[in-house]
């Protein structure tokens, strides 16, 4: 082989090697990528993959290269319920999605009876029949109502009737029995009255004095006892377990010895644990304690101080709690965190809200319904919140015209959200 032929042979070898290397590089590149092909409605929605925006064309379609592995796809648009899903992208493969967002639910306002929709003050949790109780007619009448969803998930009224005969007055708070056969009313800061009734008829019933010198009061979900703070003249500061008429009082803890004054009380759904949070003048001493109803013993689950309120998840395994925050730039002076029932795995949810305006979903303990101040709209918003990724994840309702939510409650299937705003009673259909 002469020199010229040798050069040609070397050139061919180099060329073939170069082509092979390029082909291998291209193959590796292709296999190292995944693709998302997505069509979205409305076409002005924002699509993100692991928080990186995917741009849509004018028809709402996009094709994007993504890194193989687990990712979170989110689709959101103003006025629509957001979509979120965790997916797995395989190397060299494409995922094809067609997503049509649903519009935010429309509020349903109770207007069947003018007095029933006038100055609504309190609302109970939904009972086993998904009926609800609320106080209206300027605090004088108690109502029982039931609402249902038709085939189009529109809200309809099954019944909405007054169930109190004698006029009620001076009620500052209501605590319903778990069986909904009785209620305790707080009349002022220390006086409570008791009302016993059966279903719709308590015309012949009268309020009777339950007790005075009582602070916070919490009825156990299993209906076995009522816990309350008792502070009569003389310096006693006790945690009491009592029956529904308060004829049997058991002092289960001396709170004065622990330096606990006027505590916030809240039961776990399984009735084993009672949250006790002091409301001392020195907020730095306001820790979160758990009192075990069986062993009659305290444990400290958050000793950082500055705690305000807390509530359990429906499975009694988690506790959301609020801590005071004096951030001058924030309207809401409480920040929400979550921890395990025993105090482990504490983490801030990076959410400013009041515990009274937070509800766990009954069907998904990783999500909350929250009402809180929206700094962008300068009013309150009602939205779904994902605990895992600390972000809004679902509907968002602007409450600009209705001021602020006072109370809210979910039905057992998380299909209807009841809430009071601006002394009016509203319902949202959350059914998918």
Please report the sign of the dihedral spanned by the C-alpha atoms of residue 314, residue 216, residue 121, residue 420: negative
- Output the pLDDT for position 249: 95
Same domain, residue pair 277 and 192: yes
List phi, psi (to 5°) of 334. Answer: -135, 140
Burial class (CB in 10 A: 0-12, 13-18, 19+), 279: middle
What is the torsion angle, in degrees rounded to the nearest 10, for the CA atoms of residue 131, residue 311, residue 122 and residue 153? Answer: -40
Q: Among residues 82, 100, 118, which one ends one of the domains?
A: 100
Same domain, residue pair 85 and 113: no
CA 355 to chain centre: 9
Task: Tell me if 403 is assigned to some domain.
Answer: yes
- Output the pLDDT for position 80: 82
- Output the pLDDT for position 18: 67
Task: Give the other-Cβ count within 10 Å of 285's Cβ.
Answer: 15
Q: What is each CA distance from 337 to 163, 273, 311, 391, in whole angstroms?
A: 39, 19, 11, 13
- For 263, the token pair is 């505590």
- Output the pLDDT for position 28: 47
Same domain, residue pair 89 and 141: no
Q: Is there a contact between 172 and 192 (Cβ–Cβ < 8 Å)?
A: no
Task: Tell me if 401 is assigned to some domain.
Answer: yes
- Output the pLDDT for position 192: 92
Q: Which residues pair with 344 in a beta bridge?
A: none
Task: Tell me if 361 is assigned to some domain.
Answer: yes
What's the CA angle centered on 288, arms 284 and 290, to 5 degrees?
155
Same domain, residue pair 96 and 182: no
Task: Tell me if 24 is assigned to some domain.
Answer: no
Residues in contact with 337: Cβ distance below 8 Å, sequence separation at least 6, in sequence order: 320, 321, 322, 323, 346, 347, 348, 349
Residues in contact with 24: Cβ distance below 8 Å, sequence separation at least 6, in sequence order: none
> What does DSSP assign to residue 347?
E
Same domain, residue pair 92 and 128: no
* Strand ranges in 50-181 using DSSP code E only, listed in sequence order: 52-54, 61-66, 69-76, 83-89, 94-100, 107-109, 122-123, 131-136, 141-149, 155-162, 173-176
Q: Is there a contact between 283 and 324 (Cβ–Cβ < 8 Å)?
A: yes
What's the CA angle centered on 80, arms 338 and 332, to 5 degrees?
40
Counting as low any pLDDT under 70, the low residues of the chain are 1-32, 111-118, 126-128, 165-166, 197-205, 400-402, 432
Same domain, residue pair 227 and 127: yes
Same domain, residue pair 119 and 89: no
- For 176, the token pair is 């319903």
Task: Tell me if 233 is assigned to some domain.
Answer: yes
- Output the pLDDT for position 112: 56
Report the distance separating Cα 239 and Cα 253, nearest Å: 5
Residues in contact with 160: Cβ distance below 8 Å, sequence separation at least 6, in sequence order: 110, 112, 113, 116, 143, 144, 145, 146
117-169 confidence digits (pLDDT tens): 668 887 777 666 778 888 888 888 888 888 888 888 888 888 888 877 667 88
Report the distance separating Cα 318 and Cα 69, nearest Å: 30
Number of domains in the chain: 2
Report the distance separating Cα 247 and Cα 250, nearest Å: 10
Q: What is each CA distance from 148 to 151, 156, 221, 416, 431, in whole angstroms?
A: 10, 5, 25, 9, 11
Task: Provide the residue range defining the domain that includes 142.
Answer: 107-429
Q: What is each CA distance from 117 to 113, 141, 324, in whole angstroms?
A: 7, 11, 34
Same domain, residue pair 301 and 394: yes
Task: Tell me if 66 is assigned to some domain.
Answer: yes
Same domain, residue pair 231 and 177: yes
Same domain, residue pair 425 and 328: yes
- For 340, the token pair is 């395990």
Q: Among residues 74, 100, 126, which one ends one of the domains?
A: 100
CATH code: domain of residue 359: 2.130.10.10
Q: Among residues 60, 80, 100, which one ends one of the domains?
A: 100
Same domain, residue pair 167 and 248: yes
Q: Is there a contact between 126 and 67 (Cβ–Cβ < 8 Å)?
A: no
Same domain, residue pair 180 and 237: yes
- Output the pLDDT for position 336: 97
Helices (H) and strands (E) in the chain, counts: 2, 35
Q: Is there a contact between 292 and 277 (Cβ–Cβ < 8 Å)?
A: no
Among candidates 363, 175, 379, which has minimal Cα distance to 371? 379
- For 23, the token pair is 């082909």
3-state secondary structure of 217: strand
Q: What is the biggest distance separating any 2 CA atoms in the chain, rounded to whole angstroms?
A: 121
- Output the pLDDT for position 261: 93
Please report the sign of the dihedral spanned by the C-alpha atoms of residue 397, residue 401, residue 407, residue 409: negative
Task: Tell me if 279 is assigned to some domain.
Answer: yes
Task: Tell me if 132 is assigned to some domain.
Answer: yes
The residue behind tokens 């639910």 is 105
> What does DSSP assign to residue 284?
G
CATH code: domain of residue 96: 2.60.40.1120
């Amino acid at each position: 082989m002469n020199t010229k032929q040798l050069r040609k042979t070397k050139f061919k070898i180099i060329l073939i090697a170069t082509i092979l290397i390029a082909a291998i590089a291209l193959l590796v590149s292709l296999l190292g990528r995944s693709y998302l092909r997505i069509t979205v409605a409305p076409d002005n929605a924002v699509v993100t993959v692991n928080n990186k925006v995917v741009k849509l064309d004018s028809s709402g379609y996009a094709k994007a290269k993504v890194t193989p592995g687990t990712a979170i796809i989110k689709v959101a648009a103003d006025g629509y319920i957001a979509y979120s899903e965790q997916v797995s992208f395989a190397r060299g493969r494409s995922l094809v999605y067609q997503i049509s967002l649903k519009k935010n639910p429309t509020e349903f306002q109770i207007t069947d009876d003018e007095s029933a929709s006038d100055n609504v003050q309190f609302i109970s949790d939904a009972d086993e029949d998904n009926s609800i109780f609320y106080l209206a007619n300027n605090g004088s009448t108690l109502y029982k109502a039931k609402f249902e969803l038709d085939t189009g998930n529109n809200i309809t009224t099954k019944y909405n009737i007054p169930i109190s005969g004698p006029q009620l007055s001076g009620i500052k708070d209501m605590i319903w029995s778990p069986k909904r056969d009785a209620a305790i009313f707080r009349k002022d800061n220390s006086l409570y009255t008791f009302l016993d009734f059966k279903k719709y008829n308590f015309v012949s019933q009268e309020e009777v004095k339950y007790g005075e010198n009582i602070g916070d009061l919490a009825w156990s979900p299993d209906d076995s006892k009522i816990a309350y703070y008792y502070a009569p003249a003389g310096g006693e500061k006790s945690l009491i377990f009592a029956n529904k008429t308060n004829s049997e009082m058991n002092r289960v803890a001396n709170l004065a010895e622990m330096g606990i004054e006027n505590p916030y009380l809240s039961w776990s759904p399984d009735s084993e644990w009672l949250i006790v949070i002091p409301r001392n003048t020195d907020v730095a001493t306001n820790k979160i304690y758990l009192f075990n109803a069986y062993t009659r013993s305290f444990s400290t689950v958050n000793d950082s101080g500055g705690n305000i309120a807390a509530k359990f998840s429906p499975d009694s395994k988690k506790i959301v709690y609020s801590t005071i925050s004096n951030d001058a730039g924030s309207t809401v002076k409480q920040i929400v965190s979550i921890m395990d029932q025993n105090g482990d795995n504490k983490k801030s949810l990076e959410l400013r809200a009041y515990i009274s305006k937070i509800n766990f979903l009954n069907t998904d303990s990783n999500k909350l319904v929250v009402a809180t101040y929206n700094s962008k709209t300068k009013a309150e918003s009602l939205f779904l919140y994902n605990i895992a990724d600390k972000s809004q994840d679902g509907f968002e309702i602007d409450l600009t015209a209705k001021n602020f939510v006072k109370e809210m409650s979910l039905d057992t299937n998380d299909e209807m959200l009841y809430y009071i705003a601006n002394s009016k009673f509203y319902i949202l259909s959350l059914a998918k």
